[in-house]
Structure 1
Amino acid sequence: MQPDALVAGLLAALERRDDLAEAGLLDPDCRIVVDTGDPSGAELRGRVHVASALDDLRVRHPDAAFATVHVNGAPGLALRSHDGTVVGVLVVDLGRDGTIRELWLSAAPGKLVHWNARRPAEG
Structure 2
Amino acid sequence: MQRDEISSALVAALRAGDDVALARLLDVEARLTVDTGDRGGGSVRGRARVIRTLERLLVDRDDAALEAAQVNGCPGLALRRDDGTVISVLALEVDALGAVAELWLQAAPTKLANWNRRCGP
* TM-score after normalising by structure 2: 0.92
1:54 maps to 54
| Residue 66 (structure 1) shift | 0.9
TM-score normalised according to structure 1 size: 0.91
1:39 matched residue in structure 2? 39
Q: Distance in 1 between matches of 2:76 and 2:58?
A: 16
Alpha-carbon deviation of 1:59? 5.0
**Structure 1 CA distance, aligned partners of 2:44 and 2:60?**
18
Query: Any runs of at least 4 consecutive aligned residues in structure 1 with deviations exceeding 2 A, and if so which?
Result: 58-63
Name the residue aligned to 1:92: 92
Per-residue deviation, residues 4-40 of structure 1 (Å, max 9, x unmatched): 1112111110121212111111100000000001011
Q: Gapped runs of 5+ residues in structure 1?
A: none
Tell me the distance in 1 between the aligned counterparts of 2:60 and 2:119: 28
Tell me by how many angstroms 1:58 deviates. 2.7
Provide the C-alpha distance between the structure 2 equivalents of 1:104 and 1:29, rounded to a whole number of angstroms.
Answer: 14
Show the 5 A alignment for 1:53-72: 53-59=53-59, 61-72=61-72
* Amino acid in the other structure paired with 1:35: D
What stretches of structure 2 of length at least 5 have no aligned partner? none
Tell me, yes or no, if the aligned pair for 2:7 and 2:69 is still in contact at 8 Å: no
Name whichever of 37-46 and 61-70 sits farther off: 61-70
Residue 6 of structure 2 aligns to a residue whose secondary structure is helix
RMSD of equivalent CA atoms = 1.4
Deviation at 1:2, TM superposition (A): 1.5
Q: 1:33 to 1:7 in 2, by over 3 A?
A: same
Contact 2:80–2:86 at 8 Å: present in 1 too? Answer: yes
| Count of matched residue pairs | 121
Sequence identity, in percent?
Answer: 49
Q: Give the equivalent residue in structure 1 for 2:83.
A: 83
